[in-house]
Amino acid sequence: MAREGRSVQSRLSAWFGRHFSGGFELPLPRPMPPDNQSSETLNAETNFISSTSEMATKLCGVCSSIPAWFWTQKIEESSRISVELQPFKQMRKGARRGCGLCQVLCKTRRFREPVDKLGACRLVMRNTPHIDGCKTMFCRFGEVSLGYINMLPIPASWSPLSLSKLDENSNLLLIRDWFDNCRLNHTSCNNVTRNFLPTRLLDLEVFDEGRSREFEDDIKLVCSRQFQGVGSVPHYITLSHCWGPPEKRPVTTTLANRALRMERIAFLDLPRTFQDAIILTRKLGQRYLWIDSLCIIQDDEKDWANEASMMSEVYKQSWCTLAALSSSNSTGGLRVSSNLRAKKRFILDLGVNNGHDGLLNVRIFEEEPDIWREEYDGFISIPFDEERYTKLSPLRYRAWALQEKELSTRSIHFGCRQLLWECRELKGTSQLPWRAIRDFDELNASEAEQKWAESQPGNSVLSYRMRVHWLNLSQDYSQRSLTNKTDKLLALSGIARSFQKHFPEGKYIAGLWSSHLPLALLWQGEQIDLPQRTTEYIAPSWSWTSHPSSISYPLYAFHNLYRKTGRKRSGLPDKWLDGLEVVSIKGEPKHGDDYGALKEGATLELGGALFFELDSGLTVYAATFFKKDGVEAGFFHPDVSECPQGKLVCLGIFSSEYDGKVTGLILREHIRDGSPLYSRVGYVDGLKPSLWDGSERRQITLI
């Protein structure tokens, strides 16, 4: 069926108007009220600066005379500085006449007192807690204070778009700014040797050669063999997206339609997310795009396993990954959903005196700027509502998407409220393109942590941080969902392969590194409502990847808390029970990939193990006491809801330097061919070392 032959430019303009107008922007200006407007209309709700009006960037005489030291002085912790301004009545007039700072300060008014009673104002500034480089300002009239606003300096090397002048192409311009900055200034992002291509790519320009304007947007699947011997390999962009439920699954390539896909794929037959990715890829000047559902033959198990094993290179060598973060299926598109904004907040850029015959550009926020990770996670305006998080950022909670994010050199995440940029050297948002606001858990390692890491034999600061990073990734990955539970190790294999260089002495198996043992055994299920154990074999019981739901490493979290609060000691302790050692770790790959799925029967042998037998009658709750010789011995945290049967023993692994208590595992004994084998049934803590008095060391095999 023929369609209207519109020009590429007109279609792109319409597309950007449809998709990118929902970015984080301030709409067009509205007229200022006249000087004689009634003061009754100037209350906190109907102030002349709202989040739907353009804010002027000029300053009145009083605000422009604020001394440079006020804007540039370093403020000591718990200190504040201030300057005298003008009475609120004059400030209101300055706002009407277009003074940006007066407008902002008037908008923060949170009370109903008559304006005439407010005398001279002092503008007070202090550091914003937990946000490095951010300062908080507020007006004070005697004992009365206006609401708070936040200010961050704009780096001299960065010229971000003014958020008061965004138009329908603003997100594209912002993306191009990010790319230019990354290309010109980020050494590690540009040091990727691009000598790899996926087996197949989508060619977006093959029909855009003037032969038929009717089908110029159509694409086709091509084999990368055609680029062999032609010099440098071409750039390509990858798409990260949610497939959605079966009724909304995207179009795929199969054995039956592969030949047709390599002839032509009609643009109009593709779902919205794919169409958006195609148009944006073209807008960014790139010809080739990789989409998993189209570039992997979905019903060919061999092809699927082969492509999955190369996933680390597919995303690592991609020019950029476009992530449909807020779309739950392929029909959602690459877009920012303005209707999901929880609050309307103004953002204003000002040029203020820097004391050196120039201007210091600052960006002012009505509230604290958003934390990058909370925007990515969907933790915005709806605290402690886990179900809503997954609706705001559904891609973040898909298992396959973790390696797509972690392995990509550059990513553009289309969040529900704004764009998020991520590369090896920078995270940014539409609010703050040049930096990311980090939460408490993301702060850099302390000097004490570095010293502790440096003191460990053969353990550099980098390898220590990568070990902690792997633990964090394990916890993150365990929270994510999979359509096929048996893909759990496969969807992690790309990240595991990329980490091998950081742990050259370690053998990888089922989500664990041998060089991280025995710490890596001390994971714990996080659910109050215990899950059921999966019937299919995925991993050995001692690996966190065998657990059907989310896990944590409480031992790491506990000691990390003490590092951050400055108590006791810094960093992860390393005091394992004397004599405990890893003898061997064995597992046979299912598809020949050492980082992928396993055949049933992986084992871990430990030497010098100390354990004691538990009393019978162990009950299963989220956390319960267990007994030895009729006496409560410690807390048992079962892995799953099934009550363990048979002989149970407690294996001690770690002795805390903080309180001397022991942490370990509860194991169930199995007799096979006359020899005992042990499977994990839970995590245990709070044990006294004396419980092992009289125990003999043994070599045991975990399954």
186-234 tens-digit pLDDT: 999 998 888 899 999 999 998 876 555 667 899 999 999 988 777 788 9
Using the predicted structure, report yes or no on whether residue 406 has a pLDDT greater than 90: yes
Using the predicted structure, report yes or no on whether residue 99 has a pLDDT greater than 50: yes
Question: Mean pLDDT over residues 69-76, rounded?
Answer: 87
In this structure, of 76-80, 183-187, 344-348, 644-648, the range with the lowest mean pLDDT score is 344-348
Collapsed DSSP state (helix, strand, coil) of residue 222: strand
Q: What is the pLDDT of the chain when averaged over all its residues?
A: 80
Question: Mean pLDDT over residues 388-407, rounded?
Answer: 88
pLDDT interval class at 620 (50, 70, 90): low
In this structure, of 70-84, 96-110, 284-298, 616-630, the range with the lowest mean pLDDT score is 616-630
Structure tokens at 94: 């300055």
Using the predicted structure, report yes or no on whether residue 542 has a pLDDT greater than 90: yes
Most confident of 114-123, 206-215, 239-248: 239-248
Question: Mean pLDDT over residues 443-455, rounded?
Answer: 46
- Tell me how far apart the alpha carbons of residues 314 and 419 are, in angstroms, rounded to a whole number: 23
Structure tokens at 551: 């896990």
Contact assessment for residue 397 and residue 480, using Cβ atoms and an 8 Å cutoff: yes
More confident residue, 628 or 374: 374
Return the domain boundaries, the chain. Answer: 39-153, 173-338+380-442, 447-702
Q: What is the pLDDT of residue 287?
A: 96
Q: What is the pLDDT of residue 587?
A: 96
pLDDT interval class at 528 (50, 70, 90): confident
User: In sequence order, what E strands does 78-120 have?
Assistant: 80-84
Using the predicted structure, report yes or no on whether residue 438 has a pLDDT greater than 70: no
Question: Mean pLDDT over residues 133-144, rounded?
Answer: 84
Q: What is the pLDDT of residue 112?
A: 58
Structure tokens at 410: 């550059």
Using the predicted structure, report yes or no on whether residue 621 has a pLDDT greater than 70: no
Q: What is the pLDDT of residue 29?
A: 25
- Tell me how far apart the alpha carbons of residues 607 and 483 are, in angstroms, rounded to a whole number: 38
Using one digit for the tens of pLDDT, what is the confidence trace for 481-511? 998 899 999 999 999 999 999 999 899 999 9
Using the predicted structure, report yes or no on whether residue 429 has a pLDDT greater than 80: yes
- Tell me how far apart the alpha carbons of residues 315 and 404 are, in angstroms, rounded to a whole number: 6
CA 87 to chain CA centroid, nearest Å: 45
Question: Mean pLDDT over residues 232-249, rounded?
Answer: 93
Q: How wide is the angle at C-alpha 92 spanned by C-alphas 87 and 97, nearest 5°?
A: 125
More confident residue, 352 or 376: 376
Q: How far is CA 366 from CA 225, 231, 322, 338, in A?
A: 54, 52, 30, 18
Residues facing 147 on adjacent strands? none
Structure tokens at 387: 């179900």
Closest C-alpha among 508, 665, 491 to residue 587: 508
Structure tokens at 645: 């049967």
Q: How wide is the angle at C-alpha 469 spanned by C-alphas 464 and 472, nearest 5°?
A: 135
- Residue count (the chain): 703
Q: What amino acid occupies position 329?
A: N
Residue 591, C-beta contacts closer than 8 angstroms, at least 6 positions apart: 305, 309, 597
Using the predicted structure, report yes or no on whether residue 23 has a pLDDT greater than 60: no
Structure tokens at 444: 């850099």
CA 459 to chain CA centroid, nearest Å: 27
pLDDT interval class at 250 (50, 70, 90): very high
- Tell me how far apart the alpha carbons of residues 425 and 187 are, in angstroms, rounded to a whole number: 9
Q: What is the pLDDT of residue 475?
A: 95
More confident residue, 243 or 571: 243
More confident residue, 395 or 624: 395
Contact assessment for residue 590 and residue 305, using Cβ atoms and an 8 Å cutoff: no
Q: Rounded to a whole number, what is the distance in angstroms from the first to the last CA of the chain?
A: 60
Q: What is the pLDDT of residue 294?
A: 98
Most confident of 324-328, 459-463, 617-621: 324-328
Collapsed DSSP state (helix, strand, coil) of residue 646: coil
pLDDT interval class at 162 (50, 70, 90): low
In this structure, of 37-41, 187-191, 256-260, the range with the lowest mean pLDDT score is 37-41
CA 686 to chain CA centroid, nearest Å: 33
Per-residue b or e along 266-296, where b marks 16 or more CB atoms closer than 10 Å to that residue's CB = ebeebbbbbbbbbbbbbbbebbbbbbbbbbb
pLDDT interval class at 161 (50, 70, 90): low
Q: What is the pLDDT of residue 2?
A: 36
Most confident of 39-43, 88-92, 584-588: 584-588
Q: How far is CA 530 from CA 77, 167, 180, 649, 703, in A?
A: 45, 50, 49, 21, 21
Residues facing 612 on adjacent strands? 650
Percent of the chain with pLDDT over 90: 40
Using the predicted structure, report yes or no on whether residue 424 has a pLDDT greater than 90: yes
Q: How wide is the angle at C-alpha 326 spanned by C-alphas 321 and 330, nearest 5°?
A: 75
Contact assessment for residue 511 and residue 596, using Cβ atoms and an 8 Å cutoff: no
Question: Mean pLDDT over residues 593-599, rounded?
Answer: 92
- Tell me how far apart the alpha carbons of residues 602 and 580 are, in angstroms, rounded to a whole number: 20
Question: Mean pLDDT over residues 512-521, rounded?
Answer: 91
More confident residue, 462 or 416: 416
Structure tokens at 257: 């339609």
Q: What amino acid occupies position 203?
A: D
CB hemisphere CA count around 520 (13 angstroms): 27
Q: What amino acid occupies position 649?
A: V
Tokens 């304006």 belong to: 115
Question: Mean pLDDT over residues 569-589, rounded?
Answer: 72
Collapsed DSSP state (helix, strand, coil) of residue 557: helix
More confident residue, 61 or 443: 61
Question: Mean pLDDT over residues 108-115, rounded?
Answer: 62
CA trace torsion 601, 607, 613, 614 (10° rounding): -70
Residue 20, C-beta contacts closer than 8 angstroms, at least 6 positions apart: 168, 169, 170, 171, 172, 335, 336
More confident residue, 619 or 328: 328
